Amino acid sequence: MRPLELVLLVADLVACAALAVRLPDTARWPRHAAALAIPSAALQWAVEGPRWQLAPGYALAAVVFAAWLAGARRAPERPRARPWARRCRRTLGVVALAIAFALPVAIPVFRMPAPTGGYPLGTSTYHWVDHDRRERFAAAPAARRELVVQLWYPAAPTPSAPRAPYVQDAAALEPLAHLLDLPGFALGHLRYVTTNSVEGAPAARGEPGFPVVIFSHGRGGFRQHNTVQVEALVSHGYIVAAIDHPYVASGVVFPDGRLAAFDPRMLDRAFVDSVIPYLAEDVSFTLGQLAALNRSDPHGILTGRLDLARVGIFGLSLGGEVTVESCRTDPRLRACLAMDVWMPIDVVRSGLAQPTMLITRDAATMRLEGWSPAAIDETLATLRAVYAGARGGGYLVEVPGMFHQDFSDAPLLSPLTSMLGITGPIDRRRARDIVAAYVLAFFDRHLRARPAALLDAPSPRFPEVRFESRPALREH
């Protein structure tokens, strides 16, 4: 809970108590504590910004303030309310206070976990147009494919600079809220969440160039939905480029204010399968733009800082499909990591030349989450087939107890996600640590040629993880 949110709710509590306790007429100052609720609400609204989870707190502040005004104006001879009426008001006050406290605690403006590496973090966002490629999701033949790509990078220390917001424009999340059968404003509070990154910070100069990792989000997701993993990688010396795939993401807001909202056709499996190669072209186009950026960054930040001889990619869910398809078609990608999704048939048939890590969970956990037997069989069978056919070597990581959303930032949304069945029975911090450790170890070994003992055998550090590895196939 943010500081002024707590101030508001404590003011509500004090105001309710001051009005509820029966005091002698001479004890006027405790009753005047009820007047603090409205100024506290106004201060919180003006400084931290309003959010719908505080609506009961705002309403309660208005009610107790009105009650205080009425009491201050009451004539001395006016009779007091009967005992049953006072009990009723007190009960309603307790219920209102409970709701006012519970909502912002259950759906908080959360804090992004501090990354574990030694580099401070910077971020910068770019808008690129692929003039050679038609926009498949648009009806107009002249429409060209546009991308918004956010880069995070190791930065020079800027301890006093303000931290960048988690999402720059909450309007991009309204389609996702509708997909979840929620009102459009339901995720609007995420605009108040801050990250550990500084917008436009100068890039660090600790290395001649930093290896690059591309991130591809899931269906209906957004480029920031794995920020915890992204910031962890960056703090250890990587540049991460997260692609917003227009019409596949919840919503993509272009610099001129246009919103490319989620295309409902993406709910159809046959259509999804047909656009995976097209989305993989987003990755290849991004690689070309990163090369141009490395030659001359228009933001004046990353010129010469990207080591494009060391590029990997990772993705979650649909982004995992895009990841492996991109690795199948683009040899510039040197390391391939996909999380919790079935594999495209072309990838299963041809295999992958790059070192490949596949992270998922066991069939029992998928059943617990409610996945159909067909989806479970397809996911695990195709993951194992790609693992077995990875010519550059493979790693298969299963984490029992993790639900699909545990691979993203979703566990941060509420302390109740596991109770609501959104995330699995595994401790959310444990899940975060496991995934972050394997992601970092994989890219350290295959982009930096660093030792990674975690990938040599099942680890006593994570005894619950089912880990398999196989070496690269020898070419004859």
- pLDDT, residue 476, reads 42
Of 99, 85, 40, 29, the residue nearest 65 (C-alpha)? 40
Write the CB contacts of 243 (distance below 8 Å, at least 6 apart in sequence): 147, 149, 214, 215, 216, 217, 223, 282, 283, 286
- Of residues 93 and 56, more confidence is placed in 56
User: pLDDT tier at 228 (50, 70, 90 boundaries)?
Assistant: very high
User: pLDDT tier at 169 (50, 70, 90 boundaries)?
Assistant: confident
- Of residues 17 and 169, more confidence is placed in 169
- pLDDT, residue 20, reads 66
Question: What is the rounded average pLDDT of the residues 135-156?
Answer: 95
- pLDDT, residue 89, reads 64
- pTM of the entire structure? 0.91
Topology classification of domain 121-470: Rossmann fold (3.40.50)
User: pLDDT tier at 28 (50, 70, 90 boundaries)?
Assistant: low
11-26: string of b/e by CB count within 10 Å (b at 16+)? bbbbbbbbbeeeeeee
In the chain, what are the domain boundaries? 3-106, 121-470
Mean pLDDT of the chain: 91
